[in-house]
Amino acid sequence: MKTDRDLGLEMAAALRYASAWRGKRVVIKYGGRAMAGDEFGTLIDDVVLLRSAGLRPMLVHGGGAEITTTLQSMGVEPRFIDGLRVTDRATMRVVEMVLGGSVNKRLVGMIQRAGGRAVGLTGKDGDLLRVRPHPRSDELGFVGEIEKVDTSLLDQLTNSGYVPVIGSLGVGPGGETYNINADTAAAALAAEVAAEKLLLLTDVRGISDNGRFRSRLTPGEAGELIDSGVVSAGMVPKVRACLTALEAGVASAHILAAGEPHGLLVELFTEGGIGTMIKEPGNPGATGR
CA 81 to chain centre: 22
Q: Please identify which of the residues 120, 238, 259, 273 carries the catalytic annotation.
A: 238
64 in active site: yes
- Cα distances (Å, whole numbers) of residue 280 to 58, 59, 180, 213, 251: 23, 24, 27, 19, 8
Whether 54 is catalytic: no
Number of H helices, E strands in the chain: 11, 16
The answer to whether the beta carbons of residues 162 and 108 sit under 8 Å apart is no
CA angle 117, 121, 126 (to 5 degrees): 115
Strand partners, 177: 171
| Active-site residue flag, 279 | no
The reply to whether 238 belongs to the active site is yes
3-state secondary structure of 176: coil
Which among 29, 124, 197, 279 is annotated as catalytic?
Answer: 29
148 catalytic? Reply is: no
DSSP string, 210-224: TTEEESEE-HHHHHH
Please state, as a whole number, how many other Cβ atoms lie within 10 Å of the Cβ of residue 78.
16
Q: Of residues 32, 144, 259, 263, which has the active-site annotation?
A: 32
Catalytic residue among 31, 62, 63, 64: 64
Residue 70 CA, chain-centre distance (Å), reads: 23
Active-site hit among 45, 46, 125, 183: 183
Active site residues: 29, 32, 64, 183, 238
